[in-house]
Amino acid sequence: MPEILENEADLELYSPNPEVCGMTTLDRAAFKRTIVVPFIRVKKEVVSKLLKALKHTTLKRPGLKRVIDDPEDEDSRFVLLHPHKISADYSLGEKEQKILKQFNINSQVSKYNLELTYDNFKVEEILRSVLPKGQEVTSGFSRIGHIAHLNLRDHQQPYKHLIGQVIIDKSPGITCVVNKTNIIDNIYRNFQMEVLAGEANMIAKAKENHAAYEFDFSKVYWNSRLSSEHGRITELLKPGDILFDVFAGVGPFAIPAAKKKCSVFANDLNPESYKWLLHNCKLNKVDKNIKSFNMDGRDFLLGPLKEELTKELSLPTKERKNSVHIVMNLPALAIEFLDVFRHFLDGKPCSTELLPTVHCYSFSKHDNPAKDVQERAEAFLGTSLEGRSSTHLVRNVSPNKEMMCISFQIPAEVLYKQCTHEENPEEPASKRLRPNEDSPEEKLIS
């Protein structure tokens, strides 16, 4: 991210040539500008000590030299001063004059014409000078290996290719800049994108939580902002625990868990995600610890998960030493899958200590997102979670939208068939939305 300028005076001083305003095709030479800065002439042997003594007065700007050669005297140097640290009449303050006197330096301040080029400006400064005054400047981006991912606003669209090229110029290692062109509106959770600048290479490499990942960023879902959340869930697991990852993507929950010696069952509906999940399991040498599936989430819950959970919970209590965790990271819809667990298993309820723990993600636009998510989870489970769940704020998605994670052990009265089904768990939950509930289409976001 670009460094924030300290004040309006700096903003004006270090602005590119104002004639670049409105530029849509990058012309680096057009950004050249000459500014006038003060300097003092000093002997080269005292430069180092003087810079320390005048550290609050000298020019401080990344990429610009504070000391330059004196073209008329090889034994002297020009020490450049910050224009806003001296008076308007180019005279030094009393404190600075005393310092110069100690070094036997003439306190006369002269003017130096300093040329600034495109290379001397930061991303934010360049974009601010190009976009019309007062319009929002986008200089931040998500980085996925060599790819910079932007979410441009409508008013930035005419400048999109220039923005992309500037980011490549100013960001070492970035060779491709892409912009999202629609919301996530399909069952595979990926979005269409366009290449704004650089190579059209979508095969990304990323590292997260001591694991390496490779994938086609244009065909799978990956969000670098979820790194901390992936790590948080991994920290909850102990070696030998069982993890069911219902919407596994390319493996950011599953692979760290497998590296921690957990038994992992990972599923994703997207064939591309499944392909890269298998690839990443081998890449991280955990393919022996992960069983992977390419199924609809509901089918995975009613099939492999139910089968394995039945086996695990049927074991005598003394033989069960490990916990079972179920991760459901599809925040637009996952909470609607919780109805699957209603009367999920036959037999007698096991010890409450051994009941599986669910970590279910959801978006919320309510003033009290924790309460909202809990109430919606209760509606699909058919029971109260009061005092039996915890909610965690994952991240702020937008000014009025939060991503939350609700964690709870599935109550025994929900999990076991102690009464007749009130409804068919195989019926898509989206058909049983509560009154005033957003439709699945309205919930899908980027």
Binding site: which residues?
Answer: 230, 268-269, 296-297, 329
- Enter the tokens of residue 140: 């931040």
* Sign of the alpha-carbon dihedral angle for 345, 351, 353, 354: negative
Residues annotated within a binding site for S-adenosyl-L-methionine: 230, 268-269, 296-297, 329
- Angle of helix 123-130 relative to helix 160-170, nearest 10 degrees? 160
CA dist., res. 440 & res. 442, Å (int): 5
Neighbours of 2 (CB within 10 A): 16
Q: Which of 25, 13, 70 is nearest to 47 (CA)?
A: 70
Fill in the DSSP letter of residue 423: S
Written as six digits, the tokens of 245 are 């990852």
Tokens 């991760």 correspond to: 327
User: Which of 362, 290, 378 is closest to 328 using CA atoms?
Assistant: 362
Residue 3 contacts residue 122 (beta carbons within 8 Å) = yes
Taking the CA atoms of residue 204, residue 257, residue 371 and residue 397 in that order, the dihedral angle to the nearest 10 degrees is -10
Rounded to 5 degrees, what angle do the CA atoms 333, 432, 414 make? 80
Q: How far apart are CA 119 and CA 12, in angstroms?
A: 17
Rounded-to-integer distance, Cα 233 and Cα 252, Å: 10
Q: Which of 425, 405, 427 is nearest to 415 (CA)?
A: 425
DSSP, res 3 = P
CA 196 → CA 20, 23, 188, 275, 427, distances in Å? Answer: 20, 16, 24, 27, 43
Gap between the terminal Cα atoms of the chain: 22
Looking up tokens 């964690």 gives 407
CB atoms within 10 A of CB 57: 20
Do 263 and 239 touch, CB atoms closer than 8 A?
Answer: no
